[in-house]
Amino acid sequence: MKVTACLLLFFGSLAALAAPEGKFEKSMSVPHGGDAKIGWKREGCSVLGVTVRNFPSREDIDTARREKPDDKSWVWWDFHVENRGSAKCKIQLWVDIYDKGGRVVKSSDKSDTVDAGKLDDNIRISTRMRTLDIADSPKVSLRGEIAPR
C-alpha cells in the first residue's frame, strides 16, 4: 500500500512539472448559444467561462444546407475574465473548432491585459466561418495562457 501511495505521489508530481505554469486547455462540445464554465486561475487572474454569441439560427442552418452551402456566419466567443490580484496580468486565448473528421476548420486567438481589481471583464474572439462548419462541429478546443504583467 505504501509503495502505491509513493508512486501516485511521484507521478502526480511529474505531471505537475510537465504542465507549464499558467497554460491551460479544455476540449468540449460547441456550446450552441450558451455558456460554459472554464475555471482557469493563476495569481489572482481567472478565465471563469465563455459565452458563445450569434450561433446560427435553425433557419440559417437549414437555408445553408438547402441553398447556400458556402454561407458564412460570425460567431463570437466572449470569455469572462477577472483579476483579483494586485498587478496587471496578460491573458492569451485560442479557439480551435473541429469538424467531424477531427480537422481544425477555424482557429482564432486574442490576447489582452486585465487591470488589477477588474472583476467583470471579457475578451472576445471573433470567428467568421462557414455556417455549416460551426453548426456541424462536434468539438472545440479552448487554450489559454495567463501571465503576470
The predicted-structure confidence for 20-47, as pLDDT tens digits, reads as follows 789 999 999 998 878 999 999 999 999 9
pLDDT score for 139 = 96
> Is 33 contained in some domain?
yes
> Is 14 contained in some domain?
no
Asked whether residue 75 carries a pLDDT value surpassing 60, the answer given is: yes
- Give how far Cα 28 sits from Cα of 3, 8, 72, Å: 36, 27, 23
Strand partners, 42: 45
> Is 44 contained in some domain?
yes
> Is 84 contained in some domain?
yes
Phi, psi of 13 (to 5 degrees): -65, -40
pLDDT score for 31 = 87
d(CA 80, CA 124): 9
> CATH number for the domain including 129?
2.60.40
Which residue, 16, 38, 31, 54, is CA-closest to 143?
38
Residues 6+ apart with CB under 8 A from 55: 32, 33, 75, 134
Phi, psi of 22 (to 5 degrees): 85, 5
Mean pLDDT confidence for 53-76: 96
- Give how far Cα 109 sits from Cα of 13, 24, 64, 87, Å: 31, 14, 26, 23
> Is 7 contained in some domain?
no
Average model confidence (pLDDT) across the chain:
88
* Total domains, the chain: 1
Q: Which residue type is seen at 71?
A: D
- Yes or no: say if 39 and 25 are a contact pair by the CB < 8 Å rule: no
Which residues form the domain of 90? 22-148
pLDDT score for 52 = 95
Asked whether residue 6 carries a pLDDT value surpassing 60, the answer given is: no
> Is 34 contained in some domain?
yes
d(CA 51, CA 37): 9
